[in-house]
Amino acid sequence: MSDHTQRPIPGLPEQLPSGEHVLWQGSPSWLGIAMRALHVRAVAIYLALIVLWGTTSAIANQKPPMDVSIFALKLLAISACALGGLMLFSVLVSRSTIYTITNRRVVMRIGVALPVTLNIPFNTIQSADLRLFSNGSGDIPLQLATERRQPFVVLWPHVRPWHTAKPQPMIRAVANAKDVAAILTSALGAPAAAKPAVLVRMPRTVISKPSEHSAGEKTVAA
């Protein structure tokens, strides 16, 4: 039985307190993680250039055809293993991650080797952005008002890229991201979450570019 099914509510470390309920839950797409967090496409192009360069160099050095073929196959095998490892990691990230939006907070259960539950109360969220992609999926980074932040390396890949000084937790590569952002916007605008004032920016243009806790898990607050 998986760790998720042993919990009262999947993705949460304990039962929700009275008055709090789940509005939405989801997990990132493994393909979205692979393409936009691990940049598999760029890695594949780089490895293809390495294979091409190595093969042409062997031919230019007048190596026997059999040696050239064996060398090229070795490079292809190494490249395939590297890409396969990235794909496997993407699948593990997708399966081990659950994002939850309640009427009071955002909860992110993340971590492949060491699960961590990140609690983000609405009153610590200063703003949220939405980045949509052509297939309807998207990212929702959360800018926090508090100075107490988790390190970038702990949050990765569930963090806004390049914001290392002030890491922004991010609901990443979720399907129907516009609907998820609408749910978050509505929850943040509810009277119980009205402090401080929150602005959720949702660009209209679609971007086509690429208690008791279980053993071994840590629950932290944003």
105 has pLDDT over 60: yes
Residue 140, classed as helix, strand or coil, is strand
- Are 11 and 99 in contact, with CB atoms under 8 Å apart? yes
Q: Give the pLDDT confidence of 10-47 residue by residue, as tens digits.
A: 888 888 999 999 999 999 999 999 999 999 999 999 99
pTM assigned to the model: 0.80
**Which helix or strand (DSSP H or E) is residue 13 part of?**
none
Q: Give the pLDDT confidence of 155-207 residue by residue, as tens digits.
A: 999 999 999 888 999 999 999 999 999 999 999 987 655 444 444 444 433 33
Give the span between the Cα atoms of 219 and 212, in whole angstroms: 10
Give the span between the Cα atoms of 12 and 200, in whole angstroms: 25
**Which helix or strand (DSSP H or E) is residue 33 part of?**
none
Residue type, 106: V
pLDDT (0 to 100) of residue 10: 86
Q: Give the pLDDT confidence of 83-96 residue by residue, as tens digits.
A: 999 999 999 999 99
